[in-house]
Chains A and B, each alone.
Chain A
Amino acid sequence: MTRELKAIYVIWLRDVLRFFREKPRIIGMIGQPLLYLLIMGNGLSATLRLHGAPPGFSYLEFMYPGIIGMSVLFTSVYSAISIVWDREFGFLKEVLVAPVPRWAVAVGKAVGGSTISMLQATILLMIGPFLGIKLTAVTVLSLWCVLFIIAFSLTSLGIIIASRMESMEGFQMIMNFLVMPLFFLSGAMFPLRGVQPWMESLMRIDPLTYGVDAIRNIFFAQSPYREIMVQFSLATDLLVISGMALVFIFLAAYSFSHAK
């Protein structure tokens, strides 16, 4: 087992090291969600009112957990693109010819991508108080756990796709067709309630819906508005995202092991 653990550690360490050496990625990681939050959040809250929300409730408060979910989604899934890069630049061969099982490499990649997502989420959490969102230590800790599960499953999803992709362009295409719908249907931007029934069923099968809902469940645990914020119980959310994490990491390990 030590050999496998070492392999996971190496793959993780490499991804994290490389991340910190690329300044544009760090700037993008912080900048993108901030843009969404400040521009879209403020713009939307000026014109929209949440269905059934009492007066004085800020739409921004509703969006904030959604934006964290969005950041984790994008960062996690896109971090798997490094597999496509590594294939193109040859490093993947070095890993494949090493005496380590392929599944360990896939797990290492999943942990690496999740770590970077978690860094981003942490920065966003630190911004929260400045937007008038109250966070307690318990909230932050529970959020971390939930966010890690979400990040892990989404990075695995990215790995499943990247294992089959030969080119950057192909990966980008698939990602756009997959990631954007996942995001829009997740309830990150607008709630599930009050939409057309066909859309509601789509939103119900989007696993990310439960991720975003779990984040809100934790955020608004003590809030009087909890009822209008969340759709499911925290237990349901946790069950779905944990299931998603397990299924996706197994599929990721399988796809990566059988990649050409």
Chain B
Amino acid sequence: MTNIIEVRELVKEFSGVKAVNGISFEVSRGEIFGFLGPNGAGKSTTMKILATLLKPTSGYAVLNGLDIRANPQGVRQSIGMVFQETTLDEKLTARENLMFHGLLYNIPGKALRERMTKVLGMVELTERQDSLVRTFSGGMKRRLEIARGLIHYPKVLFLDEPTVGLDPQTRSHIWEYIHELRKQEGLTIFLTTHYMDEAENCDRIAIIDHGQIVALDTPAGLKAQVGGDLIRMVVKDKHRIKELLQKEFSLSAREFAEELQLETGKGEEFIPVLISKLPGQIQAISLHKPTLDDVFLKLTGREIREEVVNSKWLAKGRRWRK
């Protein structure tokens, strides 16, 4: 058996609304598998179903050979879970948090003490093991949670938005751990994210939107779907330029809000040609090598919406507060 997770036609309804709408996929042993999509796409819901925290409305899923409905206890023993929000007890020390977890997962005392020392070392928290978690920074808490999720030797580690709210340095640090873990322990990692750059770390990515998987491939495979380079430009008269592009270069441009977008082969060579053909018409122009952002845009017709909206709102909020 090479597939550690198999999901068939999973559906989850919340009072008539399908948060997960017929999802099927497999994850093979030792893989880093990512769910990419905007907030509310159904990523966390799917993960909660696999972790037996929610019961599916229909469909079935098998994890480590165990049916999630028939044997939830067995499934829980085989998984480690790191939630989006911290689930540590902040009034206990790092060590106590690990110890309680170990007891809940029925790890014998001696083995537990050894593993605690090992995981604390791995996430570089040995020196702070007897401090109350309340005194930890966001990054330290996340590291401790990953350590805790590993202490019972799970077969699959679930990470729900593992690096949300962390600074870039901590983010890349956490990714180092994840890769290290896979190499050392042969662990399968299943994560959700709405960061495109983070998804690049995965072996395979399922792009999920409105409760459905719209694409599933390696990052390179997904990017190949977009085709060539993408040129985005802001012009004075979108319609006229669009027609012109069609006539002169037989390129069909797409309109997105303020801008025109077109796909071409070698973008860096094509831009000078464009500019000389349309003197005085182009107000701004940029070249994009295909990224997962573009894949998402192409598949769904929009950007990962929350990211765009949120950052604007946040910026506003910050200004107001000062």
- Using a CB–CB cutoff of 8 Å, the interface residues on chain A facing chain B are 2-3, 6-7, 9-10, 13-14, 17-18, 21-22, 89-101
Query: A14 to B85, Cβ gap below 8 A?
Result: no
On chain B, the residues within 8 Å of A89 by CB distance are 90
Alpha-carbon distance between A98 and B83 when the two chains are bound, in angstroms: 13
Alpha-carbon distance between A132 and B83 when the two chains are bound, in angstroms: 56
Query: B85 to A90, Cβ gap below 8 A?
Result: yes
> Which residue of B has the minimal Cβ distance to A105?
B104
Sample 22 A-B pairs with CB under 8 A, ordered by A number: A6-B103, A6-B104, A10-B103, A10-B104, A14-B92, A22-B91, A90-B83, A90-B87, A91-B87, A91-B88, A92-B87, A93-B53, A94-B83, A94-B88, A96-B53, A97-B52, A98-B104, A98-B105, A99-B73, A99-B104, A99-B105, A99-B106
- Using a CB–CB cutoff of 8 Å, the interface residues on chain B facing chain A are 51-53, 73-74, 76-77, 79, 81, 83, 85-92, 96, 100-101, 103-106, 148
Alpha-carbon distance between A14 and B74 when the two chains are bound, in angstroms: 25
> Which residue of A has the minimal Cβ distance to B107?
A6
Query: A9 to B103, Cβ gap below 8 A?
Result: yes
Query: A14 to B100, Cβ gap below 8 A?
Result: yes
Of B85, B96, B104, B106, which is within 8 A of A95 by CB? B104
Q: How far is the CB of A85 from chain B (nearest CB, A)?
A: 10
Query: A97 to B81, Cβ gap below 8 A?
Result: yes
> Which residue of A has the minimal Cβ distance to B73?
A99
Query: A17 to B106, Cβ gap below 8 A?
Result: no
On chain B, the residues within 8 Å of A100 by CB distance are 104
On chain A, the residues within 8 Å of B92 by CB distance are 14, 17-18
On chain B, the residues within 8 Å of A90 by CB distance are 83, 85-88
Of A3, A13, A96, which is within 8 A of B106 by CB? A3
Query: A2 to B104, Cβ gap below 8 A?
Result: no
Q: How far is the CB of B279 from chain A (nearest CB, A)?
A: 59
Of A7, A18, A22, which is within 8 A of B104 by CB? A7
On chain B, the residues within 8 Å of A21 by CB distance are 91
Q: Considering residues B85, B89, B92, B148, which has the most beta carbons from chain A within 10 angstroms of its beta carbon?
A: B89
> Which residue of A has the minimal Cβ distance to B99?
A10
Query: A99 to B87, Cβ gap below 8 A?
Result: no
User: Which 9 pairs from chain A and chain B are nearest by CB?
Assistant: A99-B76, A90-B87, A98-B104, A99-B77, A94-B87, A10-B103, A93-B87, A99-B73, A97-B81
On chain B, the residues within 8 Å of A18 by CB distance are 89, 91-92
Alpha-carbon distance between A222 and B81 when the two chains are bound, in angstroms: 59
> Which residue of A has the minimal Cβ distance to B104?
A98
> Which residue of A has the minimal Cβ distance to B51?
A97
Alpha-carbon distance between A90 and B87 when the two chains are bound, in angstroms: 4
Q: Considering residues B100, B104, B105, B148, which has the most beta carbons from chain A within 10 angstroms of its beta carbon?
A: B104
On chain A, the residues within 8 Å of B77 by CB distance are 99
Alpha-carbon distance between A205 and B74 when the two chains are bound, in angstroms: 44
Q: How far is the CB of A195 from chain B (nearest CB, A)?
A: 44
Query: B101 to A94, Cβ gap below 8 A?
Result: yes
Query: A97 to B91, Cβ gap below 8 A?
Result: no
Query: A97 to B106, Cβ gap below 8 A?
Result: no
On chain B, the residues within 8 Å of A95 by CB distance are 104
> Which residue of B has the minimal Cβ distance to A93?
B87
On chain B, the residues within 8 Å of A6 by CB distance are 103-104, 106
On chain B, the residues within 8 Å of A91 by CB distance are 87-89
Alpha-carbon distance between A2 and B321 when the two chains are bound, in angstroms: 53
On chain B, the residues within 8 Å of A22 by CB distance are 91
On chain A, the residues within 8 Å of B76 by CB distance are 97-99
Alpha-carbon distance between A154 and B100 when the two chains are bound, in angstroms: 26
Alpha-carbon distance between A13 and B99 when the two chains are bound, in angstroms: 11
On chain B, the residues within 8 Å of A9 by CB distance are 103
Alpha-carbon distance between A96 and B53 when the two chains are bound, in angstroms: 7
Q: How far is the CB of A31 from chain B (nearest CB, A)?
A: 22
